[in-house]
A = this chain, B = another copy of it.
Amino acid sequence: MSSNGPWLDDAEQKSWRSYLLMKRTLETHLERHLQREFGLSGSDFEILVNLSESEAGRMRAFELSRSTQWEKSRLSHHLTRMEKRGLIRKEACDSRYPEIVITEEGLAAIKECAPAHAARVREFFVDVFGPERFAILGEVSDEVVGTIGKHCEDDCPLEARS
């Protein structure tokens, strides 16, 4: 759009590909670390973090769906698997829908791996950026999300809004 048509120029291409590579490398590294050292996937981690940060370690599925931004079917499948592994429990409460409860085992798992995970995020990402650049990244990230959100509320359904 800016210089010539929709295409990216060479410098932009280069930065874009660097970003893609970084994203993949970081993702892979963090996932692998969690998996190898603690037997948790990134998805497990995300669920457990949300549950452990909640009031009583219990949430309704749709709350989890909102805070993780996952589709409900993905969530349902994953919770089933996690229950099978003993990380969470589905507990019938007074209403007709079950509550998702973190188990002792799940709590132990997240407490054990969270510091190591955070340390890696710091070492390989936060500290490489440095304070100012990292703050800028946060700001721009919000702008990007806003831009995409604005676009989608105009002309596409954006299923994430449930």
Q: Given the complex of chains A and B, what is the CA–CA distance between A137 and B136 in angstroms?
A: 10
- Decide yes or no: A142 and B22 within 8 Å by CB, A118-B8, A135-B11 being known contacts: yes
A93 at the interface (CB under 8 A from B): no
Number of interface residues of A (CB under 8 A): 54
Q: Given the complex, which residues of B lie within 8 Å of A19, measured CB to CB?
A: 137-138, 141
Q: How far is the CB of A36 from chain B (nearest CB, A)?
A: 9
Q: Given the complex, which residues of B lie within 8 Å of A123, measured CB to CB?
A: 1, 147, 151
B128 and A15 within 8 A (CB): no
A144 and B128 within 8 A (CB): yes
For chain A, residues 94 to 120, give those with C-beta under 8 angstroms from any C-beta of chain B: 115-116, 118-119
Q: Given the complex of chains A and B, what is the CA–CA distance between A35 and B121 in angstroms?
A: 31
Count chain B CB atoms within 10 A of each CB in A15, A21, A123, A151 and give the residue with the most: A15
Interface of A is mostly: helix
A75 at the interface (CB under 8 A from B): no
B25 and A145 within 8 A (CB): yes
- Decide yes or no: A126 and B12 within 8 Å by CB, A140-B133, A141-B19 being known contacts: yes
A116 and B6 within 8 A (CB): yes
Not counting A2-B127, A12-B134, a sample of 7 additional A-B residue pairs whose C-beta atoms are within 8 angstroms of each other reads A1-B122, A2-B122, A6-B116, A19-B138, A124-B148, A124-B151, A128-B144
Can you list 20 A-B contacts with CB-CB less than 8 angstroms, sorted by A residue number?
A2-B122, A2-B127, A6-B122, A8-B121, A8-B122, A8-B126, A11-B135, A12-B134, A15-B135, A18-B137, A18-B139, A19-B138, A19-B141, A21-B141, A22-B144, A23-B23, A25-B144, A124-B147, A124-B151, A128-B140
